[in-house]
Amino acid sequence: MPTKVKRPTIITPEGIARYPWVNNPDTKFVENGEYRCAVVITKKEATAFSKQLNTLFDAAYEAECAKQDKQLKKASSFPVAEIEDGWEIRGKLKAKVVSRDGTVHELRVGLFDSQGKPHPRDVLVGGGSKIRMAVRPKFWFVSALGFGGTLELDAVQIIDLQALRPGERSAESFGFTSVEGGYVHGGETFENQLDQPDVKEEKEELLDADF
């Protein structure tokens, strides 16, 4: 069963938003919806952030090994990873959770501008926006996978907005990347060019670290 204790909130470095679903949850792969976002940063920033996260991870891992009275394998996934054009930190949040008594709780990601004021939820945060995320580590153990951790996405602060209108998808979501020196229409950003027509909770043992 989950260990319910207070978890620290960690602020990521400023970086470029990648595949942000922060205004509304994505329901394509998760029935009850899931918010998620990645922030692209430098290797130096990723190393420093990973060091901070690993301190919490190692303490939670040792506690779970003691609880299980054996050395546990570690899951292969990690929320900080190298990508083609740098490094990224990944956060996610389930849009709905169901408590033991059957009560459904709807969650959402807090959105704030560079001055800390609430960002309007109908102005969609597009890929390419400069942001930082507030995340909380969540550690878990599943026998088949091992001991691992994810980052629960609490809030996003928008430093430089690349907005989308409702009904639009970013070029990034189709797999396109910018081409140096190529055609630019009317000064608009690359992410604003393409239009589109537009729980079941997994059972796992979650361990919330309090460090």
Sequential pLDDT tens for the chain (211 residues) = 334 446 789 999 999 999 999 999 998 888 889 999 999 999 999 999 999 999 999 999 999 999 999 999 999 889 999 998 899 999 999 999 888 888 888 999 999 999 999 999 999 999 999 999 999 999 999 988 999 999 999 999 999 999 875 555 555 555 555 555 554 444 333 333 333 333 334 434 444 444 3
pLDDT at 97: 86
User: Token pair of 17, please?
Assistant: 């938003």
Query: Whole-angstrom Cα distance, residue 55 to residue 114?
Result: 29
Sign of the CA dihedral running 147, 153, 159, 160:
positive
Q: What is the pTM of this model?
A: 0.74
